[in-house]
């Protein structure tokens, strides 16, 4: 799972939410220029926003400042070796070996099917299904007459018991 980068407005809401959760929304705050700098340095990546704001808050706490400005964010970025022009690291996914393997398997299957006649694709006999011609050609079964009287033996009636579900308590 990968979080997408936050927009400038999302960074503002995210930082204010994190400050509210930390119960310091009134004690310390980031001004608009500082949040612009946070977004520029972190490129909206939440993990980097957290690191940068944490370091800027520590710098401001050391200086006993309640308003975090862009200078504090720049100093925090320098301490974390962040720069605005740093390229965004993109994870490299190696998709070409999978594509090459799929191509080779497809080519092998197509080659095998091209040189094998269709009649040899399935060599097992098909099963007899109901209604197939083989079943219809079978001789009819011998009919037996129905006996005139059936020996019917009634079963003894079971004693009636009340259901345990509906029994009174």
Asked if 30 and 68 count as a contact pair (C-beta separation under 8 A), the reply is yes
Tens digits of per-residue pLDDT, 33-55? 999 999 989 888 889 999 999 99
The per-residue pLDDT for range 105-152, each reduced to its tens digit, is: 999 888 887 877 766 666 666 666 666 665 555 566 777 776 676 666
Residue 15, domain extent: 8-79
Q: What is d(CA 27, CA 159) in angstroms, rounded to the nearest whole number?
A: 82
Domains of the chain: total:
1
Query: Which residue in 61, 81, 83 sits closest to 72, CA to CA?
Result: 61
CATH of the domain at 42: 1.10.8.60
| C-beta separation of 68 from 60 below 8 A | yes
pTM passes above 0.85 = no
């Amino acid at each position: 799972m990968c979080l997408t980068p936050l927009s400038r407005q999302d960074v503002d809401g995210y930082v204010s939410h994190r400050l509210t959760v930390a119960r310091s929304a009134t004690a310390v705050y980031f001004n608009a220029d500082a949040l612009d700098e946070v977004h520029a340095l972190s490129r909206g990546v939440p993990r980097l926003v957290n690191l940068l704001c944490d370091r800027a808050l520590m710098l401001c706490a050391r200086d006993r400042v309640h308003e975090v400005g862009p200078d504090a964010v720049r100093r925090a970025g320098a301490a974390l070796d962040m720069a605005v022009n740093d390229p965004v690291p993109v994870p490299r996914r190696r998709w070409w070996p999978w594509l090459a393997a799929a191509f080779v398997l497809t080519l092998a299957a197509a080659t095998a099917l091209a040189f094998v006649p269709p009649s040899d694709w399935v060599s097992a006999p098909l099963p007899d299904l109901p209604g197939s011609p083989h079943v219809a050609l079978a001789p009819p079964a011998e009919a037996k007459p129905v006996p005139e009287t059936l020996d019917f033996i009634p079963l003894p009636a079971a004693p009636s018991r009340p259901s345990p579900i509906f029994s009174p308590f």
